[in-house]
Structure 1
Amino acid sequence: MSGGFSRPLAAHGECIAVLGAGPAGVMAALGLHRLGYPVQVISQWRRFDAIEGVSARVMQALAQQGLTHTLSMAVPAAEREVHWGEAPVVRNREFLIDRPQFDAALRADLAAGSVPLREARVRQLHRLDAGWDIELDDGSRIAASRIVDARGRQAPQSGAAQRGPETVSLLCRWRATPGAAASAVERRDDGWTWLARLPDGTCYWQWVTGAQLPGRAELPAWCAAARQASALARRFFPEDPGAAVTVHARSSTSTLSEEGFDGRLLRVGDAAMAVDPLSGNGIFQSLSSALQAPAVLHTLIRDPSREALALDFHRERVRHLFLRFARMGRDFYRQAPAVGSFWPPRQQWPDEAPLHYDPDPSQLRVAERPVLEHGEVVARQVVVTADQPLGVWHVDGVALAPLVAALPQQSLRQVLTEQVPQASWQAVGQWFLSQGVPLD
């Protein structure tokens, strides 16, 4: 992407409603507000309290968007213990976030950005000729020209979705003695667990499984028995309170929506694609789809003739991201033995395609694809590879398509010398070398 967003022309009479004030909804709302569009966020608080682990790149994305309140809520943890194979290992330092505090900080960043928030639950959406009539749970109504649906897994689905193996997460939370932040993950025959501690003594144990659950009243004791059966959990939580915990069961099934990609309704975050928590990229993928949504809507409003192009851009990138994270989760699952009923289906889903393809210079080709330019979706010549089916447009500001077109007649060294600014030789040359193109 190059350049900045162009301002809308008197907002074209638009008023955009963003449903949901999680990371995806806040990112989309702030992006649209910066473009000058009237935005109304509608959201209710989450009905359960969780702790989540996020990567450094999520923190970088939050910083780039200026979400200072939200950034302050992350707690760096020690390197995560991984008990997956025969011997435990230590990997990947992660940041821990307490979702109630994190969600409050997201709301504070909305307020700092002067984006209005209505605390309410959406009861029903009524499509009109020129927009939407949004019915809230208190009986009031809000009119909007377009909707960005960022309600996460709670967004209604008509059934038109691609789903992975049915998976449920049991979220257990309690308070113990304060101490150092820490996290760990452990494989079980019937699933896997993620363990976390915050400095204030908040403890969290998440059990991801495909097993048939007991009744709600029996869940705390059932989870307590599973923790006590784990040597890691007994060591990690020396003050395990037994059944005196808050337990919430929720779906963790991987889901790719096949709807919500039209000119009046755009899904982002988990409402568009929800990934298996084993990929460790839930919030990152939410931010990825939400960050592109303002450019997609901006294109639809400014130039309706590019509606199909803009929607294809959003849909294909959401699908590509979904498959990438699904395959990442599949490869993690394959590192465990294929035992019981939980593991084999997840080791085969979504397909047998590799997460990454080996470099093959014969596969480089030039094609027209939608890209972002000056904050709008346009069609440009890009270079498509087996690993990048959506295409690569620029490297270090240099368009790749003309260089690939010249390669059959010239060596890479000649192309770099004659068509690439010297300051970009290393970056562009390294990209071609990574694709298996020889220098001479």
Structure 2
Amino acid sequence: MTTAVVVGAGIAGLAAAVGLHRAGWSVQVLEQRPELPTAGTAVVLHRSALEGLASLGLGTGLATRAIPLTELQLRTRTGVPITPSRPGSGSALIDRSALVDLLRASLPEPVVALGRSLAVRDLPDLRAQADLVVAADGVHSSLRQELFGCAYRATATGTTVWRGTADMVTTGLTEYWGQRRRFGISGHPGGGTNWYATALLPPTPAGSAQPGPDELRRLFGHWSAPVAATLAKIDEGTVLRHGIYHLARRLPLYHRGNVALVGDAAHAMTPDLGRGANEAILDALSLTRSLEAGHGVDLALAAYDKSRRRPTQVAATGSAVLDTLIHRGLWRPSA
């Protein structure tokens, strides 16, 4: 039986593991965290990702845990429409933790090994022991750096993102732009509101206390009424705050030897187009289908690279352009 080791149990790694397991591979997933996330904010899954997940047998689970994205709209910070409201085109919202849980539940219990730290020195042994190694170890992938060098480390964009939930009812997804900042509000699959905000801020010094919701209210509290209402209802226990990193230098290949890179390990991008989770799922599906073609690992990884490198790098470039447009003053609202 062909064997695979997947390094990382995020969306990309688990989706790849589910695909390989369904294709008859013996799979082991190594995750350094002691447990998988049980809470989080929502992600938008586009039609292609939803169809791909359904092909992995997750259709019923998605139907019970995701909600349709009914409409999308951009507005200025004062509420003036930038674009007309448009339908969600078959997209859906799901909690990131719920998606991870669905993927995890599709694998036999022993497949996922938690609390397994992996040193770079372990990579040669993994490559020798398994027919395939899947590098799904995220934005700061140590495997990517080992294979391609330090020039391909993720770099900070200078933009900070906040995410969380609020106790109020919201439908659709609306983004507000202004003052080199952005605030997004959407429905939440469990009821209530999912929100996110971005701003260009200096980094928080190491060891200092992370600013709380008061920082958000200072930056966004004077914006349109829906933004102010959301800030007033923030569930402070859900607020996440971190700097945004991306892979500024594009990889020349998404594989080396019998190692394939998927998700953020291959193409870490800013969240501005909301494509990260979707591209990770499509990576996993493409990798699985290339291997199922039965032409051997080497040819399969070449086919995977040809299928996924260009579209994901185009998406990453577009996302970086939008980050610059919003946060560095290149877009100026009329209101």
Q: Which of the five TM-score ranges fits, normalised by the shorter chain?
A: 0.7 to 0.9
For 2:214, the equivalent position in structure 1 comes to 221
| Contact 2:170 2:185 survives alignment (8 Å) | no
Report which stretch shifted further, 145-154 or 236-245.
Answer: 236-245
For 1:65, the equivalent position in structure 2 comes to 56
Correspondent of 1:207 among 194, 197, 201: 197
Q: TM-score, normalised by structure 2?
A: 0.77
Correspondent of 1:329 among 319, 322, 326: 319
What pairs up with 1:151-300 in 2 under 5 angstroms? 151-156=137-142, 157-158=144-145, 159-161=150-152, 166-177=157-168, 179-198=169-188, 200-214=190-204, 215-234=208-227, 237=230, 239-241=232-234, 246-255=239-248, 256-258=250-252, 261-297=255-291
1:100 paired with 2:97, answer: yes
For residues 382-411 of structure 1, the C-alpha deviation after alignment (integer angstroms, 9 at most, x for no partner) is xxxxxxxxxxxxxxxxxxxxxxxxxxxxxx
CA distance in 1, matches of 2:280, 2:48: 13
Correspondent of 2:19 among 21, 31, 42: 31
Question: Is the partner of 1:97 in helix, strand or coil?
Answer: strand
Question: Is the partner of 2:12 in helix, strand or coil?
Answer: helix
1:83 paired with 2:75, answer: yes
> CA shift at 1:320, angstroms?
0.5
Q: Quick one: structure 1 residues 288 and 84, their matched pair in 2 at CA, closer, same or farther if it must change by over 3 Å? A: farther
**Paired positions, count:** 313
Gaps in structure 2 of 5+ consecutive residues: none
For 2:310, the equivalent position in structure 1 comes to 320
For residues 55-80 of structure 1, the C-alpha deviation after alignment (integer angstroms, 9 at most, x for no partner) is 22322221122213245321123312
Q: Quick one: structure 1 residues 161 and 199, their matched pair in 2 at CA, closer, same or farther if it must change by over 3 Å? A: closer
> Sequence identity, in percent?
19
CA distance in 1, matches of 2:330, 2:153: 19
1:54 paired with 2:41, answer: no
For 2:29, the equivalent position in structure 1 comes to 41
More strand by share: 1
| Contact 2:14 2:100 survives alignment (8 Å) | no
Q: Quick one: structure 1 residues 72 and 207, their matched pair in 2 at CA, closer, same or farther if it must change by over 3 Å? A: same
CA distance in 2, matches of 1:91, 1:117: 40
Question: Is the partner of 1:39 in helix, strand or coil?
Answer: strand
Q: Quick one: structure 1 residues 216 and 172, their matched pair in 2 at CA, closer, same or farther if it must change by over 3 Å? A: farther
| Contact 1:160 1:257 survives alignment (8 Å) | no
CA distance in 1, matches of 2:172, 2:47: 16
Question: Is the partner of 1:152 in helix, strand or coil?
Answer: coil
For residues 106-156 of structure 1, the C-alpha deviation after alignment (integer angstroms, 9 at most, x for no partner) is 211224xx87222224331435766448xxxxxxxxx54431012222422
Question: Is the partner of 1:218 in helix, strand or coil?
Answer: coil
Q: Quick one: structure 1 residues 208 and 100, their matched pair in 2 at CA, closer, same or farther if it must change by over 3 Å? A: same
> CA shift at 1:238, angstroms?
7.1
CA distance in 2, matches of 1:79, 1:36: 40
| Contact 1:168 1:250 survives alignment (8 Å) | yes
> CA shift at 1:84, angstroms?
5.2
What pairs up with 1:102-181 in 2 under 5 angstroms? 102-111=99-108, 116-127=111-122, 131-132=126-127, 144-156=130-142, 157-158=144-145, 159-161=150-152, 166-177=157-168, 179-181=169-171
More helix by share: 2
Larger gyration radius, structure 1 or structure 2: 1
Q: Quick one: structure 1 residues 119 and 146, their matched pair in 2 at CA, closer, same or farther if it must change by over 3 Å? A: same
CA distance in 1, matches of 2:184, 2:133: 35
Q: Quick one: structure 1 residues 196 and 129, their matched pair in 2 at CA, closer, same or farther if it must change by over 3 Å? A: closer
For residues 26-82 of structure 1, the C-alpha deviation after alignment (integer angstroms, 9 at most, x for no partner) is 332222223322111223424972221222232222112221324532112331231
Report which stretch shifted further, 255-264 or 272-281.
Answer: 255-264
- In structure 2, what residue type is equivalent to 1:55? H
**What is the RMSD of the two structures over their aligned residues, measured on CA atoms?**
3.6
> CA shift at 1:272, angstroms?
0.7
> CA shift at 1:202, angstroms?
4.2
- In structure 1, what residue type is equivalent to 2:162? L
Q: Quick one: structure 1 residues 173 and 130, their matched pair in 2 at CA, closer, same or farther if it must change by over 3 Å? A: closer
- In structure 2, what residue type is equivalent to 1:67? L
Higher relative CO (Cα under 8 Å, sequence separation at least 6) belongs to: 2
Question: Is the partner of 2:307 in helix, strand or coil?
Answer: helix
Q: Quick one: structure 1 residues 295 and 87, their matched pair in 2 at CA, closer, same or farther if it must change by over 3 Å? A: closer
